[in-house]
Amino acid sequence: MKLVLAAAEGEAHFGLLDEVRDELGLKIVRARTPDDVLTEVVNAEILYGRPSAEIVTAGRALRWIQAHSAGVEFVADIPELVESDIVLTNTRGAHGPSIGEHVFALLLGLTRRIPTCLEWQRQRHWGRLEGYGTSREIRGSALGVLGFGAVGRAVAQRALAFELGVLAVDAHPTDGRPFVKEVWPPSRLPDLLEQVDVMVVAAPLTPETHHLLDAEMLRRMKPDAYLIVVSRGGIVDEAALAMALHAGRLAGAGVDVAEDEPLPPDSPLWDAPNLIITPHLAGDSAAKERRCVEILRDNLRRYARGDSLHNVVDKRLGY
């Protein structure tokens, strides 16, 4: 049984796989370049990393692909994978803690006006905020979550610690307890947007969610509400978001992902007011890197036993 490690995610912890290599008689090969991957995948049964049509075609022995990410929107562009018998799993759950913390880093940065203070620090200026006494407390606010998977739950868990009420929308019926009493269907997203003070986008990018938060949806939000986007770019219409911020129809936004990455120099987001941009690093942490490898290690044992794998992706749905 041969495993090709084709991703750098968790590389510092690949030593955790040594015990399963010996235990299962597993051959592990590290492929660092696209050409190496295509060469090594020919007789490999398992791939860890992001596949392509070329990899799927070359991997005639492939039976299982463990994606190194939670988002697998790439599958929509690989019909060879969708139509195949290859099982696709992801690292759902590994990123929840770090992304959950990043949501509140962005939110508190906005409500406590941290960007302004950092600019003053660079200028060696000790100032007073205009309208002193108007910084926001988030305690008692309502927070909405679009997508109540592992990341959405991590956000909701931390929201309760800040004494926020939580509402959620998800494409599938799910039990939100103990963090949310009820998870609403997508048809109630407009209702949720009208009620919340903070909206967190934690849904996967699919044809159904692409530009789901467009100008019309954003107009439903309170003018003093905040929008935090941490799952995938493309769910929020970026031009509409920039216009809403310029028009003062939102209090602010925090964006960690973009529809096109790197964010293009001519993106309207760069100059939008009350916006914090981070370059897709919400999921970054040393602990997350280890969790990705632990998921792979656990699934390797399950695969060898013939058990069902964790985090199996519905390739047609894209999550």
pTM above 0.75, yes or no: yes
Instruction: Show the tokens assigned to 95.
Output: 């990123």
Are the folds of 2-94+286-305 and 96-277 the same?
A: yes
Q: Name the residue ranges covered by the structural domains of the chain.
A: 2-94+286-305, 96-277
| CB under 8 A, 24+ apart: contacts of 56-65 | 56/80, 56/81, 56/84, 56/86, 59/86, 61/2, 62/86, 63/87, 64/88, 64/89, 64/303, 64/309, 65/89
Average pLDDT, the chain: 96
For the stretch 276-306, pLDDT in tens is: 999 999 999 999 999 999 999 999 999 999 9
Active site residues: 232, 261, 280
Q: How much is the pLDDT for 311?
A: 97
* Structural fold of domain 96-277: Rossmann fold (3.40.50)
- When pLDDT is cut at 50, 70 and 90, the band that residue 168 belongs to is very high
Residue 181 has pLDDT above 90, yes or no: no
For residue 132, name the pLDDT band (cuts at 50, 70, 90): low
For helices 96-111 and 114-122, give the axis angle rounded to 10 degrees.
70
Which amino acid would we find at residue 191? D
pLDDT at 16: 97
Contacts of 156 (CB under 8 A, 6+ apart): 143, 145, 148, 166, 168, 176, 179, 180
- Domain 2-94+286-305, what architecture? 3-Layer(aba) Sandwich (3.40)
The pLDDT value recorded for residue 134 is 75
3-state secondary structure 150-217: HHHHHHHHHHHHCCCEEEEECCCCCCCCCCCCCEECHHHHHHHHHHCCEEEECCCCCCCCCCCECHHH
Output the pLDDT for position 155.
98
Confidence label for 182 from pLDDT (cuts 50, 70 and 90): confident
Report the pLDDT value the prediction gives residue 72, as an integer from 0 to 100: 94
pLDDT tens across 203-240, in order? 999 999 999 999 999 999 999 999 999 999 999 999 99
Give 71-127 pLDDT, tens digit per residue.
999 999 999 999 999 999 999 999 999 999 999 999 999 999 999 999 999 999 998
pLDDT band at 52 (very low <50, low <70, confident <90, very high): very high
The percent of residues in the chain predicted with pLDDT above 90, rounded, is 96
